[in-house]
Amino acid sequence: MLKLTLAAALTSAALAAQFPAHAAEPVIGLITKTETNPFFVKMKEGASAEAKAKGAKLLSGAGKADGDNAGQVAAMENMIAAGAKTILITPSDAKAIIPAIKKAQEKGVMVIALDSPTDPQSATDALFATDNYQAGVLIGQYAKAAMAGKPVKIATLDLFPGHPVGAQRHNGFLQGFGLKSNDAKNNELARPAEVVCMADSFGDRAKGQTAMENCLQKNPDINLVYTINEPAAAGAFNALQKSGKDKNVMIVSVDGGCDGIKDVAGGKIAATSQQYPLKMAAMGVAAGVDYATTGKKVSGYTDTGVTLIAAKPVDGVESKDTKVGTELCWGKK
Amino acid sequence: MAAIPSTTLGAKLPPIGQLGPFIALLIACVAFGFTTDQFFSGENFSLILQQVTVVGVIAIGQTLIILTAGIDLSCGMIMALGSIVMTKLAADMGLPAPLAILAGIAVTAGFGLINGLLVTRIKLPPFIVTLGTFNIAFAITQLYSGAQTVTEVPPMMTWFGSTFALGGTNIAYGTILMILLYLGVWFWLRETGAGRHVYAVGNNPEATRLVGIPPERVLLGVYVLAGVFYGIASLMSVARTGVGDPNAGQTENLDAITAVVLGGTSLFGGRGMILGSLVGAIVVGVLRNGLTLMGVSSVYQVLITGILVIVAVTVDQLSRKGGR
Amino acid sequence: MTATTAPLVMQAKGLIKRYGQVTALDGADFELRAGEILAVIGDNGAGKSSLIKCLSGATVPDEGQILLDGKPIHFKAPIDARREGIETVYQDLAVAPAMTIAENLFLGREIRRQGFLGNVLRMLDKTKMLELSIARMNDLKVGIRSMTQAVETLSGGQRQCVAVARAAAFASHVVILDEPTAALGVKEGNMVLELIRRVRDKGLPVVLISHNMPHVFEIADRIHVARLGKRGAVLNPKKISMSDTVAVMTGALPPEQLPAECLA
């Protein structure tokens, strides 16, 4: 798929070179972690739509799997060779991609990170991403209000050790709940006394289920579960249902994918922070067009917004209902 | 007249090499029993068995392949494909559950056949072949499912995830099936000619050819049979999570190989115990469960598993050298 | 009684085998008599391996005839030869080292249990196979203590004995041995030679390919010299010297120049 896209891109770039009048069309490259994750599919949709609307040409590519840095580097080099002046990238490896980004920037290419930052964040010209800390804070605030002062025993189903997004959501959740936590720049997972179990779910349904089962063994009185994303939440729900505890335990999550919103509507997840990959990509394309036409680069971090979606609203915390959530969700509705 | 076998450390190892996985499991259980209150309970053990069922069943097929000095890097991906096929046929096309399950197993067996043909007819190394089919199976799974989880799953498919009461704890039917499958394959490998030929082909394929057993026939059979087990694992996966998940199976590829290696089966073929793979799978599950109960980071689970793998392979090497 | 009066067990006439441009067998003849150990010697490229491959069914000759007990036979694969009771021990022994002696003895010819257990469950009769293994090995006076030890725990000579005993156990016509004492020390080599003698004494003729002249002279009844894809000569080891034999093999000494008693 990548090869076909690039072959087309190279051909059209070659053709464009023959007809200087048409070379004014801005060429923007979008590189996602994988082709198939619905999150990135939505991103590509948003990017394509914006490119069409603004008369830009979009090249797209991806790595083979999460963590495939080499694939992303190759895609970047090919896109630049095909004339891309702006690269939008969701980096698979926050550090390893940096040399390739530097090379691109030396050629005058603007590089914008989408969804997750590089390490350091300043290595890219700009970052359009969800404020993952804020995403955690919102569901933490919701949980606090929903729990209404009951003593709480929390299980956190995290991603895996060392991942900045996992840390931000986890620490944000605890902060929002009003517990002792770490700040947004800290990659370590905070562990106040109320957190009776921390387990890794790898963002996966089956592993989330295993993590929840083991936590319940450790502490059968867990009544609040923070999950890194909605597949992990679905797995956690399964485990709770099998132990007959699903009615008494609240699950909160982050992502806002359509499957996840369905689970909120179905009562499996109490609240989720919805993020907007489409917006990230659209903003990225707009910035790319701007750069191509005016030469002005965009910089810094732009928060692409997070909305709390909950089936049952609570006092003092603003949330939207699942109808809104469904309209804005990413994935197949 | 007969020479006395050398009494080096290596020659003494085979019995220990065979018992190794059991000893490791015992040590782990005792250690967790002391450091946590919740480890030693029927319910917890039943839980661990349920958690390792999918990898455990995949490991049966993987053991057979590794016994022939091969390896299968695609097993998890084939399992995921099987679970998507089963659930989508039932959900989208309304196929009755038993037929959908059989169709899923037929697809996984078919992939096993492809692996086997590439290894035996085109004579490609199993590592390369299954690296390729790993990618192909993954791609087909993603395309066929549209990267969407299948949630409308008929109750019959999740039956193996349900439990029955036994002596105060709940045991899942899937656990019983896994144990029965292991016992069946154990019997087959030990007591039948076909099973012994699997060992012979792994140990010296030319020898089997010279005595009239075409190694290609044995290998093909092994790959197809492994595919069948991957299909059963697909059903176990659906039964446990209640859905057809196109992103399943990504870590199961290496997890199954880890279970087989920890269980004492030699990667060089011709040597090993099928029951060891079950123990190997359980050891990994015990580590994960115990460390969570202790509140220790999962990084240590990865570390300890890695150390155990090195130990297992070293023991295998030493016991082979001792026997000349 | 001289060897020449014993009946012919196996015979080949005019075997021709070509591999592309190379002619390995150029009208080779061959005769094996009952109750004898026939050594086949020849320089590299003389055609002795191709000859043996035709006799053991590993290769199909392009032209020529092979007769077993006077009847013409056509082998398409080694299994055909084995069906006719011709067993071959190859240089790499064809054993699975990790498996036991008993298992190796019956590899490919396993005995199943009776009744339901054997026919439906296809269970092997391990007790019977073990008994038979012990009996066979005792028969041939092979002094290995336990049939349940893995072949890889045996010394090179012992492994060779296991391979030879396996061939002898299942052969009903001919036993063919390809370089059985190569890579063995003096003591182990003698152990194998002893076993070969016992196989012959049990009534099985043995075809022995070897480069080891002292061993050939020690046990062979007759020596078949392969030269240039044909049968160069058949010699009587009791009458001819080792150095003359080597000379015939290399072509330095034409067989016509030998006295009649050296031929067999």
Per-residue pLDDT of chain B in tens (324 residues, 90 and over written 9): 333 344 444 444 445 567 888 888 999 999 999 998 889 988 899 999 999 999 999 999 999 999 999 999 999 999 999 999 999 999 999 999 999 999 999 999 999 999 999 999 999 999 999 999 999 999 999 899 988 889 889 999 999 999 998 888 889 999 999 999 999 999 999 999 999 999 999 999 988 988 888 999 999 999 999 999 999 999 999 999 999 999 888 889 999 999 999 999 999 999 999 999 999 999 999 999 999 999 888 888 889 989 988 988 888 788 766 543
> How many of the other CB atoms lie within 10 Å of CB of C19?
11
Chains C and B touching, counted as 3 or more CB pairs less than 8 Å apart = yes
All domains in chain A, ordered by first residue = 2-129+277-298 (3.40.50.2300), 132-275+308-328 (3.40.50.2300)
pLDDT in tens, C90-139: 887 889 999 999 999 999 899 999 888 888 888 999 999 999 999 988 88
Is A205 in Cβ contact with B245 (below 8 Å)?
A: yes
In angstroms, rounded to a whole number, what is the distance separating the alpha carbons of residues C68 and C77?
16
Is B240 in Cβ contact with A213 (below 8 Å)?
A: no
Q: What is the pLDDT of residue A155?
A: 96
| Chain B neighbors of C191, CB-CB under 8 A | 1
CB B245 within 8 A of CB B85: no
pLDDT in tens, C133-178: 999 888 888 888 889 999 989 988 889 999 999 999 899 899 999 9
Is B147 in Cβ contact with A199 (below 8 Å)?
A: no
- In the predicted structure, residue A14 carries a pLDDT above the cut 70: no
> How many of the other CB atoms lie within 10 Å of CB of C141?
12
Q: What is the pLDDT of residue A10?
A: 63
Q: What is the pLDDT of residue A331?
A: 81
- Tokens representing residue A265 in the block: 């509507």
Supply the mean pLDDT for chain A: 89
Alpha carbon A72 to chain centroid, angstroms: 17
Q: What is the pLDDT of residue B323?
A: 44
Instruction: Give the range among A19-28, A45-54, A298-307, C56-65 with minimum mean pLDDT.
Output: A19-28
Alpha carbon B185 to chain centroid, angstroms: 12
Q: What is the pLDDT of residue C1?
A: 42
pLDDT in tens, A127-165: 999 999 999 999 999 999 999 889 999 999 998 887 788
- In the predicted structure, residue C4 carries a pLDDT above the cut 60: no
Which of A41, A197, A211 shows the shortest C-beta gap to B147?
A41
Touching B (3+ Cβ pairs <8 A), the chains are: A, C
Name the helix (H) or strand (E) containing B185. helix B173-191
User: Mind telling me how many Å the CA of C153 is from chain B's nearest CA?
Assistant: 5
Topology at the third CATH level for domain B41-312: ABC transporter involved in vitamin B12 uptake, BtuC (1.10.3470)
In angstroms, rounded to a whole number, what is the distance separating the alpha carbons of residues B48 and A324?
40
CB A116 within 8 A of CB A165: yes
pLDDT in tens, A94-123: 889 999 999 999 999 999 999 888 888 899
Q: What's phi and psi for B251, nearest 5 deg?
A: -95, -15
Percent of chain A with pLDDT over 70: 93
| Chain C neighbors of B204, CB-CB under 8 A | 94-97
| Chain B neighbors of A197, CB-CB under 8 A | 292, 295
Spell out the CATH class of C3-94+155-262: alpha beta
- In the predicted structure, residue A261 carries a pLDDT above the cut 60: yes
> Is pTM beyond 0.90 here?
no
In angstroms, rounded to a whole number, what is the distance separating the alpha carbons of residues A323 and A306?
16
Q: What is the pLDDT of residue C53?
A: 87
Is A206 in Cβ contact with B245 (below 8 Å)?
A: yes
pLDDT in tens, A176-193: 999 999 998 888 899 999
| Chain B neighbors of C94, CB-CB under 8 A | 204, 206-207, 210-211
In angstroms, rounded to a whole number, what is the distance separating the alpha carbons of residues A232 and C216?
76
Q: What is the pLDDT of residue A15?
A: 56
Break chain B into its structural domains and give their ranges: 41-312
Break chain C into its structural domains and give their ranges: 3-94+155-262, 99-149
Q: What is the pLDDT of residue B324?
A: 38
Q: What is the pLDDT of residue B11?
A: 42
Is B148 in Cβ contact with A38 (below 8 Å)?
A: yes
What secondary structure does DSSP assign to A144-168, as a single string? HHHHTT----EEEEES-TT-HHHHH
For chain C, where are the alpha helices, taking DSSP H only? Answer: 48-56, 78-83, 101-105, 115-119, 126-139, 156-170, 186-201, 213-219, 242-250
pLDDT in tens, C206-249: 999 998 999 999 999 999 999 888 998 999 999 999 999 999 99
CB A158 within 8 A of CB A166: yes
Between C257 and B202, the more confident residue is B202
Q: What is the pLDDT of residue B6?
A: 40
Is C121 in Cβ contact with B191 (below 8 Å)?
A: yes
Burial A11-36 (b: 16+ CB within 10 A, else e): ebbeebeeeeeeeebbbbbbbbbbbb
pLDDT in tens, A76-88: 999 999 999 999 9
Is C99 in Cβ contact with B212 (below 8 Å)?
A: no
Is C93 in Cβ contact with B207 (below 8 Å)?
A: yes
Chains A and C touching, counted as 3 or more CB pairs less than 8 Å apart = no
CA distances from C3 to B124, C172, C174, C221 (A): 52, 20, 16, 7
